[in-house]
A and B are shown apart, each in its own frame.
Chain A
Amino acid sequence: MSTEVALHNTPLVEEHIALGAKMVGFGGWNMPLQYEGILAEWEHNRKTCSIFDCSHMGEFMVQGDAIQSGLDGIVTQRIADMPVKTCRYGTMLNEEGGVIDDLIIYRKAPQEWMMVVNAAHREKNAKNFKNHLTSPANFKDISFETAKLDLQGPLSRDILKTLVPDIAQLEYYTFDEFVLLGQKCLISRTGYTGELGYEIYYPWEKSKELWRRILKNDKVNPTGLGVRDVLRIEMCYSLYGHELSEEISPLQAGLDKFIDFEKDFIGKQALLKQKAQGHHHRMGYFISDSRRSPRAGHRILDLSGNPVGRVTSGTFSPALQRGIGLGFIEAGKNNIGSKISFGDEKTIVSAVISQRPFYKNGSLKH
């Protein structure tokens, strides 16, 4: 007898299993953790090109004027001035200023928007939109008809160009509609790896053909969520449930530049209050003095051994050949160059607070 809740499958689950992926439950979905191994997949992504199945992520459509629809007031990023065919990252908050989710908004037309949200909180997010949009009828969840394949790595443009010649003109954080293997689809130049890359929103039932076609190119390897996490930690990108939650404000999480204080949005008053009072803890980024790596939940200590924070994400960094971590650290103990340590009751490891990102040589904006 199993008490586990059934996991959703992406349209590519059989492909992953056939390729020998180690599968894992993530955000309610049955997802590939790794194929060849995290280090090999890291190497391939940073130097060549990887494909990720991100069909678990949620996609919502909203129709209407930015302001009148209520959309602008739900999210922290400014959307009214977004040019069509651009995307913008931001968050949506509760009244207390805590993060309901982080999301990217795509402006498809002056009055047509697509939001991409995390898989685990799709239903919670949908509810939040429907509750706060002027008319819930303008909202549509297209998650289960939309597959999402991420092609990421320095060679991704050259590889995608062989299937979509016009892709070369796409600039960072812009998108367009293209015809790919006979299917109309949306492709954005976005990603979560720090490398040049594309996110392809493709018809769910046709995605297997696209996956197979892209993998026919021997420069492309399939890549799992394990290395995706390593890549995003090297870039200091937040992951909901780690750096972000309903108890954490985007200011604490270091996402200040994705908040537009010139407009009204849910949670703004709480954020203004936080700004006035200052923060006890803020996101810090640190590098281990050794290969020993911080892990989520580890304590962070100052030089005298006093607890000053908590690790939210940690990993071994193949780029630095050191452990790296993200965590909330007390104000005053969080200055770049400050020495700290991290660990649990068994092991304490020295580290130093660093600038973000840890990985600076990516092809992201090439």
Chain B
Amino acid sequence: MAYGNKKFRRFGADASNVKPDGELDYKNIPYLTSLMSPQFRIYPRKRTGFSGKDQRKLKRAIKRARFLALIPYTS
């Protein structure tokens, strides 16, 4: 996964350099939804370009937001 898919890579050659543009917090709804498909599926690491650590943070934040009805589970 280290090299990712060329089509989706966000910056430069090294996918591991990609950092989140915002806080991965359940209250940051616009940013979280920008990392989800229109059907509210979480984008994979390939698409977000995040490190494993950041992707887990994203997962946690989205699942919390879903629990509090800030983001739908699906549409």
Is chain B found bound to chain A in the same assembly?
A: no
Instruction: Write the residues of chain B forming the contact surface with A, with a CB cutoff of 8 angstroms.
Output: none
Instruction: Write the residues of chain A forming the contact surface with B, with a CB cutoff of 8 angstroms.
Output: none
